[in-house]
Every structure is written in C-alpha cells, then in structure tokens.
Amino acid sequence: MSGPNFPNPIVRWIDHRLPVFTFMHHEMHEYPTPKNLNYWWNFGSLAGIMLVIMLVSGITLAMSYTPHTSMAFDSVERIMRDVNFGWLIRYIHSNGGSFFFIAVYIHIFRGMYYGSYKAPRELLWLLGVVIMLLMMATAFMGYVLPWGQMSFWGATVITNLFSAIPLVGEDIVTLLWGGFSVDNPTLNRFFSLHYLMPFVIVGVVVLHLVALHRFGSNNPLGIDTKGPQDSIPFHPYYTIKDAYGLGVFLVIFAGFVFYAPNFLGEPDNYIPANPLVTPSHIVPEWYFLPFYAILRAVPDKLLGVVMMFASIAMLFILPWLDRSPVRSGSFRPVFRIFFWVLFADCLLLGYLGAKPASGIYVVLARLGTAYYFAHFVILLPLLSIFETPRPLPKSISQAVTSKGTAAVIAALILVGGLGLGGTPAKASGGDIPKQDWSFSGPFGTFDRGELQRGFQVFKDTCAGCHGLKYIAFRNLAALGYNELEVKAIAAEYEVLDVPNEEGEVLMRPARASDRWPSPFANDNAARASNGGALPPDLSLMAKARIGGPDYLYALMTGYTEAPADFSLSDGMSYHIYFGGNQIAMPPPLFEDGTEYSDGTKATVDQQARDITAFLMWAAEPSLEDRNRMGFKVILFLLVLTVMLYFSKRKIWASVH
Amino acid sequence: MADTHDDATRRDFLHVASATVGLVGTAVAVWPFIDQMNPAADTLALASTELDISGIEVGMAITAVWRGKPVFVRQRTAEEIATAAADDKADLPDPQLDADRVQKTEWLILVGVCTHLGCVPLGQKSGDPKGDYGGWFCPCHGSHYDTSGRIRKGPAPLNLPVPPYAFTSDTTIKIG
Ligand code: FES
C-alpha cells in the first residue's frame, strides 16, 4: 500500500489494518479541487452541516416527543416549557428545516447556472435531486408531528393529492392514513418515517459524495482542470473557506432561532389540531410554495398533481434537455438571461403560492407555471442549438475569477425576503395598530409589575371562561412571586384528586406542581355556558394569532357601538378589528374591573396592556432566556467568523 | 502546493486560535443536547408526595408512589419495634441503629426498592412472605430484610433506604 507515511505509530497500526486515515488523507488532503471555486460552492457543505444539525436536534427532540394525537401537541409544549433547553432544540429544528432548504436551493441554482449537471456529472446531479425529494417528504412529515392546525390540514391536503390517481387513488390515500381520515395511525407512521428518512438521505449523500469525488467539483469557468497548476488540495484551502462560510451562515441562522423563531412558521400551528375546523387560509411551508402555486394553477385535480410532480421531474431530465457543450453560464450570454428569468419566476411562484387562489393571482400563477415548463422543454433545447457561447479560457490558472462574498450575502438576504413575501398574511395584519412592548426587540424583557397585574386581570376577568392549561402554578414564580405566594395562589383553586380508597374522585386544593385547572369540566360544558361558543385556552394565544400581542391588545380594546346600518347577530358584540366585525366574546374589560394590588389605576387600556403582556409570557416563557442566550451566541459566532475570515485570507494568500 | 508552506501556516497563531475557539464553541453547544436528558421542570416539580396515613392500622402497611418508585409506609407493632431494636446488636451487613431509621418508632418509611438490582420486595400485604427476619423478602434473588428494613441475608448489599420525609401533621407525611 502506498499510503501517506503517518508519524503516529497508533495511526499507522490502525491504518495498516483499516485504511481510514489513508482514505481521509486521499479524499481531503490530496483530493484536487479547482482553485477558482467561488462562494456559491460553499452551499454543498452547508447543506451537509444542516443535515447533521437536523439529525442531532431531531433525535434529541424525539426523546421527549409523544406521537399520539392526544399527546403530541402537549408533548411539544412540554418540550418548549419544561425540558431543559427544549425551546432551543425545537427552534433549532424548526428553523433548521428552512435553512437546510435555503442551502439546498442555492446549491441547486448554483448547479444550474454553472452547468454542474452536464457530463460527466449527470448521476451526481440526479442523486442530488433525489436528496431534494427525500428532504421534501421528510419535511412534510415532520411538519405534521406537532399536531397543530396546519400540521393536520397540511397532512390532509397533501395526502389527498394521491386521491387524484385514477382507479387506485382512494385506496392509496386510505393506505397512507391507516383509516378514513388523518388520525392517530397516520401520526404514528409519519413519526416512524420522519425518523427513518434522514438516514436514507445520509445514504444518498454518501453516494452523492462518491460521485462528486469521481471527477471532482465543477467550477465557475465550467472547464476541466488541466493539471496541477489548476487545482489545490481540498484541505486546508476549502476546509477553511467552508468554515468561514459556515460562520456567516450560522450567524444568520442564529438570528432566526433566537430573535424570530416563529417568523417562518404559521401562527395557526399553535392551535391544536381540530378535524372539524379548517383554518381559513392554509399555506404550506415557504419551501413548498412554488410547487403549491403550480398545483393550484391547474384547474384539473389530476393534472394539477401531475404538473407539480412534473416540475420536479424537469430537474431529473435537465442534463438531457440542455445539450450545450458549454457548462458555465458565464460564457452563455443568452442562457444567462433566461437563467435569471427562471430564478425570478420561481420566486414569483413562491410568492403566489402564499396568496389566495383567486383573481389576478391565478392568472399570474398560470403564466409563471407555463414559463417554468417552457424554460426546460423549449428554451433550453433551443438555446443549445442557437446560442453562440463566448470563447472559453484555455485553463483555469489563466483566468482565475473570483466573485465577491457580497453577492452571496445579497442572495441570502433575498431569500430572507422571500420568506417575508411568503408570509404576506403576517404583514397584512395591517389594520391592527402596532404597540410598544417591553418584551419586543432583541433586548426585550418582561416587566414583572406588568406581568403580575396582567395575572390579576386574568384571574379576575378571563379565568371565569378561559383556561390556561400549559401554565402550572409553579411557573408563576417567573412573575416574581415567592414560593409561599405561589402556594397560596394554588390553594385558592381546586383540582381533581386521584381516586380515594372508596374509588371516589374528589377535589383537593391545587399544589404548585398542578397545572391551571380548566374553568369547565369539558368542552361541551364550556359551550353550554357561553352561548355555544367555546372560549379558547389562552396559554398560547399570543403566538396563535397573526399579529400576536398587538392582536390581543386590539381585541381587548376594539369594542364600540355598532354603526346604525350594521346588523348584529344575536349574542354578538360589534368589534372594529375582529373578522366580520362581530365577536361572540362580550367586552371583557371594564373601567376598574380589577383592583390592582400595586395601586395602578385599572383603566381598560391599562388592563389590556397588562393582560397582553401576561399572555405573551404564558405563550413564550423562555423569551428572556432566548434573548440573552442569543446575544451571547451571535457575539461568539461573529468573533469566530472574523477569525476564520483572517485565517482564510492567510491560507489563501499563497494562491492569489 | 508546497508542503513546507502549509506546515508553516498551519502552526500560525491565528489558525490555532480559530480552531480552539471553534472547538470550544462546539463543545459548549453540545451541552444543551445532553442536558435535555436530565429531569425536566415538571418532573422535578413532582419530586415530593403528600400522604395521609390516618387509615393505616397497627401492623398494616401501604405502598405510596414517590418519584415513580414504591415507598413502604408501615405502622409497626410493639413486637416488631422491639425486635428491630434488639437486632441493633446483631451481625448486620450494613450496620445501622433502628433509631436512626425512623422519626417516630411506630412509623417505618422506606423506599421499597431492593438494593441488589432494583426489584420490589414482598411483605407489604398480610399474605406475603416476609422472609426469615419478619420484614420483607425480595423474590428476585432472595434477599431478606428485617423489621427495620435492614438487609440481613442474601445478595443485597445495603439496607432499604429511608427517603427524606417529614410529618406535616400527626396524620400526614410529606415524602421528598
Ligand atoms: S433484586 Fe432483590 S435480591 Fe436481587
């Protein structure tokens, strides 16, 4: 064996019998890589690292998650509230999915621009598309697991896609469900498969890497390396460049995890799944939006599903649609324009996927869909024939180009903007006025006085009808109450005891460890006492509505006299902000409706602010920890990234 | 590329520093993923159990649950108390005075988990075998405990542990 000569005898001993070190040396150190790769080439390794982050956070989440319809939602809330660092791990996992897709989508567009799918790298490309498909299936099933409203209805809609298949469609859907609707068997199998699929992805990634190392990376010039003067060893040159890129990527990722953890999610998923009520506006996660737009653009059920899958199939046959011998878009003046048009088209489709399927949006979605397919089946084959490429440089070393970091960062911001466009509903909570809260912003904290007053409002006003089931009395310590005060508050309430020796179930005074008891024995009792309307549990209310705390404040203060020409239904109250301008809840707050123990004057406005702050705390008790930890983590990552940047410059100094 | 140059740069202070900072960061980031396996806040909140003992007659025992484990609460007879005290001088594998194992001599409170490999010993119900020393008998590998819950015979190395508890009134105890 002509392996490298390792100085360490133990390494030598092992390597002689199990040549892992030779393998690593060969694949990392000797592996020749074109020396002109730009920062777009970072996204492959970023995707790989996101996969690892998803695996680690997913496996740890599974240690506390319960895949049962009656417990899944609660177990996720328990992770968020009670499990050590549970909120951190869950936010890493839920945002990590998005960042995995960001990395992979940029990676794919990079491959498309620089022609990385062309011979001899067709299989490398195909394996990559397989990975994307597997990721989509995994992400979809993962989104079902928290068992919120979007989970449930997303699962219903997506599994129903298969019912479009002629003859066997219905049977397939029943098979997927394990019943006659999305229910516990569905949740169980989705959990099982969601756990399995990432390991399948790892397997395909290994194949992807084997295929990559056969011919090495493509490069921005798209020409083959012609000898040692064109390439450099992967390590240390690209390990340090990848590490630096990772630093930048993680800073942005941490920004989302710590300061906008629910930005990419849907408020509706903080409402437990209800098989009887569909949310008024259901949207998939942003990374599915372009495909969703294609599905809805076609007015026929079967054809819509076919087109959606065909849009991915285009990627599979891409190497055979584009026959141009020139790989890199940099030397294809016409292709280059159409590439960016296609990119814009995908963004447009993504935007439309989040819009209601009506009016101008449908027209645009049809145009966008038509263009998408035209790009692949008409434009690319024609371009291969009619386009005159610019002359290619003789070798890489002759024409080392380097694109700046700026373009990559601009792209990341653009993708962030896509997320923003993808959740237009949030921005369009427009008529709800914004308020200043002590807890908003990266340095936000709760005001203990405000929380305690809010808690008083809750006790005196809301608790008669609304539950707060995810809050245990012990949690009130976070409001600034000491142990004795918490016990005293708990003792004011009664909860069901365990059956006594005679088998009777009696009430006992609540203890600190008990959760807030529901004001009604069950949902039907609650409806009966409230004119048929079920007063929702308030634990998560501040996260479960578009607008969050601003919405709650507006809800509390938006009652007025109905205008003369407005016909109110029976038992409803007129409301400025509530949908349809009428609401079943009677005005909850009154001047001096509560007597604040700190002597604050209990105006309606004051009470509304206090209860909102309290409910924000109830929904997101980890908020202060999150802000504090986020500051430290991002500071650390910035320092590390700067160090990596200078290391990278130093290592690369000899190349430039 | 020239290897000599590589080696020179790799020993560079900046590279060592970056690598160190990166490794330390990774090591710190591992902690949350380990700590999530520790008991969660709601589990810790259940760490104490209140118990009404007014219904336990002399010579009877009940089994309560504390932290998911059985806790034996027995009101001992005068005879049992006397044997336990007398056995203080016997040859004990894990010597301990009966007086050190109880707060009120009639009430014996023990974690009902065999100190050998964790089975629950028999002896709580009137029909149960109580072993050679009139306390508890672990059927798994044959450990015998006396009327103070001390190990007397068999593979178990230690006495049945006494959980932390306090009498909150004459008829209630708080375990934990
Ligand atoms: S576990 Fe009790 S004797 Fe082995």
10-residue mean pLDDT profile of chain A (656 residues): values are 76 93 86 91 96 98 97 97 97 97 97 96 97 97 97 94 92 95 96 98 97 93 89 91 96 96 94 93 92 93 94 97 94 95 96 90 96 97 94 79 58 60 43 89 93 95 93 95 94 88 88 92 90 91 93 91 84 85 88 89 94 97 96 97 94 84
Exposed e or buried b per residue across A364-377, where buried means at least 16 C-beta atoms within 10 angstroms of its C-beta: bbbebbebbeebbe
Residues whose CB is less than 8 angstroms from the CB of residue A362 and which lie 6 or more positions away in sequence, other chains included: A296, A297
CB B45 within 8 A of CB A473: no
CB A426 within 8 A of CB A543: no
User: Helices A333-353 and A289-297 sit at what angle, rounded to 10 degrees?
Assistant: 80
Ligand 1 lined by B157 (C-beta under 6 Å): no
| CB-based contact B40 A82, cutoff 8 Å | yes
Ligand 1 lined by B158 (C-beta under 6 Å): no
Q: Please tell me whether residues A410 and A441 are part of one structural domain.
A: no
Q: Please tell me whether residues B55 and B137 are part of one structural domain.
A: yes
Q: How many distinct structural domains can be found in chain A?
A: 2
Q: How many CA atoms lie within 13 A of B10 on its CB side?
A: 10
Sign (positive or negative) of CA dihedral A297, A301, A306, A312: positive
Q: Is residue A439 part of a domain?
A: yes
CB A435 within 8 A of CB A577: no
Q: Please tell me whether residues A369 and A293 are part of one structural domain.
A: yes
Nearest CA to ligand 1 atom 1: B117
| Cα–Cα nearest to A157, from A181, A135, A139 | A181
Residues whose CB is less than 8 angstroms from the CB of residue B54 and which lie 6 or more positions away in sequence, other chains included: B171, B172
Three-state SS for B108? strand
Name the burial class of residue A17, with classes exposed (0-12), middle (13-18) and buried (19+) by CB atoms within 10 angstroms of its CB.
Answer: exposed
Query: What whole-number distance in Å separates Cα of residue A337 and Cα of residue A656?
Result: 30
Residue A5 contacts B, CB cutoff 8 Å:
no
Residue of A81, A82, A89 with shortest CB distance to B33: A89
Three-state SS for B62? strand
A274 CA from centroid of ligand 1 (Å): 49
CB A107 within 8 A of CB A43: yes
Query: What whole-number distance in Å separates Cα of residue A536 and Cα of residue A526?
Result: 10
CB B124 within 8 A of CB B63: yes
Structure tokens belonging to residue A512: 């600190």
Q: Is residue A174 part of a domain?
A: yes
Structure tokens belonging to residue A264: 């990419």
Residue of B6, B37, B41 with shortest CB distance to A82: B41
A106 CA from centroid of ligand 1 (Å): 60
Residue A235 C-alpha, separation from nearest chain B C-alpha, in angstroms: 10
Residue of B2, B40, B55 with shortest CB distance to A83: B40
Q: Please tell me whether residues A101 and A163 are part of one structural domain.
A: yes
Residue A139 CB neighbours (<10 A): 20
Ligand 1 lined by B140 (C-beta under 6 Å): yes
How do residues A424-458 score in pLDDT, each as one tens digit? 444 333 478 899 999 998 999 999 999 999 999 99
Q: Please tell me whether residues B130 and B84 are part of one structural domain.
A: yes
Test mutation, B4, B10, B13, B15, chain A, max A CBs within 10 A: B15
Query: What whole-number distance in Å separates Cα of residue A211 and Cα of residue A131?
Result: 14
Test mutation, B10, B18, B48, chain A, max A CBs within 10 A: B18
**How is residue B122 annotated by DSSP?**
B
Q: What is the pLDDT of residue A530?
A: 87
Query: What whole-number distance in Å separates Cα of residue A450 and Cα of residue A262?
Result: 24
Residue of B9, B14, B40 with shortest CB distance to A643: B14
Q: Please tell me whether residues A452 and A366 are part of one structural domain.
A: no
Ligand 1 lined by B155 (C-beta under 6 Å): yes
CATH, residue B127: 2.102.10.10
Q: What is the pLDDT of residue A460?
A: 92
Q: Please tell me whether residues B118 and B60 are part of one structural domain.
A: yes
Q: Please tell me whether residues A315 and A451 are part of one structural domain.
A: no
CB B48 within 8 A of CB B168: no
Residue B70 C-alpha, separation from nearest chain A C-alpha, in angstroms: 16
Q: Please tell me whether residues A58 and A99 are part of one structural domain.
A: yes
A405 CA from centroid of ligand 1 (Å): 66
Compute the residue count for chain A: 656
| CB-based contact B21 A512, cutoff 8 Å | no
Q: Please tell me whether residues B30 and B60 are part of one structural domain.
A: no
User: Helices A149-160 and A122-144 sit at what angle, rounded to 10 degrees?
Assistant: 130
Residue A651 contacts B, CB cutoff 8 Å:
yes
Q: Please tell me whether residues A242 and A300 are part of one structural domain.
A: yes
Where in the sequence is the domain holding A439, given as residue range(s)? 427-471+536-621
Q: Is residue A295 part of a domain?
A: yes
A71 CA from centroid of ligand 1 (Å): 36
Query: What whole-number distance in Å separates Cα of residue A146 and Cα of residue A142?
Result: 8
Q: Please tell me whether residues B83 and B121 are part of one structural domain.
A: yes
Give the β-pairing of B165-167 and B151-153.
unpaired
| CB-based contact A643 B21, cutoff 8 Å | yes
Q: What is the pLDDT of residue A582?
A: 86
Structure tokens belonging to residue A546: 């578009």
Q: Is residue A562 part of a domain?
A: yes
B119 CA: nearest ligand 1 atom: 1
Q: Please tell me whether residues A465 and A603 are part of one structural domain.
A: yes
Q: Please tell me whether residues A212 and A146 are part of one structural domain.
A: yes
Helix, strand, coil share of chain B (percent; to 5): 30, 25, 45
Q: Is residue A15 part of a domain?
A: no
Q: How many distinct structural domains can be found in chain B?
A: 2
Ligand 1 lined by B143 (C-beta under 6 Å): yes
Q: Please tell me whether residues B82 and B98 are part of one structural domain.
A: yes
Q: Please tell me whether residues B90 and B159 are part of one structural domain.
A: yes
Residues 508-537 of A with CB under 8 A from B: 511-513
CATH, residue A420: 1.20.810.10
Q: What is the pLDDT of residue A419?
A: 54
> Among all residues of chain B, which has the CA nearest to that of A500?
B52
CB A145 within 8 A of CB A119: no
Q: Which residue intervals of A216-265 are DSSP H helices? A: 234-259
Q: Please tell me whether residues B149 and B66 are part of one structural domain.
A: yes
Beta pairing partners, A508: A495
Q: Please tell me whether residues A361 and A440 are part of one structural domain.
A: no
Q: What is the pLDDT of residue B1?
A: 40
Q: Please tell me whether residues B5 and B72 are part of one structural domain.
A: no
Where in the sequence is the domain holding B140, given as residue range(s)? 43-175
Q: What is the pLDDT of residue A406?
A: 61
Q: Please tell me whether residues B24 and B71 are part of one structural domain.
A: no
Residue of A236, A474, A640 with shortest CB distance to B21: A640
Q: Please tell me whether residues A343 and A452 are part of one structural domain.
A: no
Ligand 1 lined by B160 (C-beta under 6 Å): no
Long-range contacts, A491-499 (Cβ 8 Å, 24+): A493/A517
Ligand 1: residue of B69, B110, B114 to mutate (most ligand atoms within 8 A of CB) is B114
Q: Please tell me whether residues B54 and B122 are part of one structural domain.
A: yes
| Cα–Cα nearest to A288, from A98, A431, A111 | A98
Q: Is residue A320 part of a domain?
A: yes
Which DSSP string do the residues of A430-460 spell out, in sequence order? GGSPP---TT-STT----HHHHHHHHHHIII
Q: What is the pLDDT of residue A426?
A: 41
How do residues B81-123 score in pLDDT, each as one tens digit? 999 999 999 999 999 999 999 999 999 999 999 999 999 999 9
Q: Is residue A184 part of a domain?
A: yes
Residues of A identified as active-site: 213, 217, 241-242, 285
Ligand 1 lined by B116 (C-beta under 6 Å): yes
Q: H or E stretch including A508?
A: strand A507-509
| CB-based contact A85 B35, cutoff 8 Å | yes
Last residue of a domain, one of A390, A425, A460: A425
Compute the residue count for chain B: 176
Ligand 1 lined by B138 (C-beta under 6 Å): yes
A43 CA from centroid of ligand 1 (Å): 57
Q: What is the pLDDT of residue A418?
A: 56
Last residue of a domain, one of A367, A394, A425: A425
Q: Is residue A466 part of a domain?
A: yes
Beta pairing partners, A148: A272
Residue A137 C-alpha, separation from nearest chain B C-alpha, in angstroms: 26
Residues whose CB is less than 8 angstroms from the CB of residue A519 and which lie 6 or more positions away in sequence, other chains included: A463, A464, A465, A466, A467, A526
User: Helices A43-62 and A86-113 sit at what angle, rounded to 10 degrees?
Assistant: 150
Q: Please tell me whether residues B66 and B147 are part of one structural domain.
A: yes
Q: What is the pLDDT of residue A373?
A: 97
Q: Please tell me whether residues A417 and A553 are part of one structural domain.
A: no
B117 CA: nearest ligand 1 atom: 1
Three-state SS for A394? coil
